[in-house]
Amino acid sequence: MTIGQNIAVIAVTVFASLLAMAAGNRIWPRDKRFGYNNLIGWQLTVLGTTYAVILGFMLYAVWAGLDEAKLNVDSEANAVIDIYRLAGELPEPQRTHLQRLARDYVDTVIDRDWPQMARGEVPEQSTAIDQEMWKTVMSIGAASPAEVNVQQHAVSELESLGRWRMTRIRQSTTGLPVMLWCVLLVGGALTIISSCTLGSENVKLQSLEVFYFSLFISLSLVTIANIHRPFRGLIHVSDYAFHRAQQSVQSRSGTD
């Protein structure tokens, strides 16, 4: 969602809430609701508290997921750098080929994977490059203990790279289940409606209360919507780690 779409969703929610309050006051006059304020207030307290707990937990969950995705991307980028470094200790032609594949992997993640993940697509080209790196490492006929050790380290880094890449792809294609969105949306609607049914002698004070409720709830839901898919939306994981990896392998290729 863009900034404009976020603002539009919040504005529509607040306006609809105030409109619902005005309609409720016309259908069920405020002076006839005073006797039900104790009951409505008790229900609003229970409902509001329950919804606040759910909302807070969802915000924490999606924020933790965003942090996890950032850490995973950093680990994947570091693995590519390590593979490039290890390739420098391998015999030819595997050395040059593996280093080229490591550079291609970084370039592909930046130029192809990130735009595809932002559109909700599953990236495939980086997977093909990873498979080619496996073939290159496994084709090495190590002739010395040092080369055997480097090959084993390269295999370990490739295993880590594959694990972190698959995690990134999974995180880019998953989000909150539909059922949880139903809980958030229905709970928010019920909480706002309950605040609209309270009888108040001061219309301005009631309007202000409904405004606060609807603004806070809509802002929280918009925040969750922007975070729950960590590679899409206004708040997303940056590809900075791979730009850093790109600079690292380019600077090393200039000294090789």
* pLDDT tens digits, 65-105: 999 999 999 999 999 999 999 998 888 888 999 999 999 99
Residue 108 pLDDT > 80, yes or no?
Answer: yes
Q: Give the confidence band of 255 by pLDDT, cuts at 50, 70, 90.
A: low
Segments forming the whole domain that contains residue 38 = 3-255
Q: How many domains does the chain have?
A: 1
pLDDT per residue as tens digits for the range 134-192: 999 988 876 678 878 888 999 999 999 999 999 999 999 888 899 999 999 999 998 88
- Which of 129-133, 151-155, 249-253 has the lowest average pLDDT? 249-253
Q: Is the pTM of the predicted complex or chain greater than 0.85?
A: no
Number of Cβ within 10 Å of residue 81's Cβ equals: 19
* Residues near 230 by beta carbon (within 8 Å), at least 6 away in sequence: 65, 66, 69, 70, 171, 172, 236, 237
What is residue 170's predicted lDDT score, i.e. its pLDDT?
Answer: 92
Lowest mean pLDDT: which of 36-40, 51-55, 64-68, 97-101? 36-40
83/242 Cα distance (integer angstroms):
14
Average pLDDT over residues 111-130: 92
- What percent of the chain is predicted at pLDDT more than 90? 55
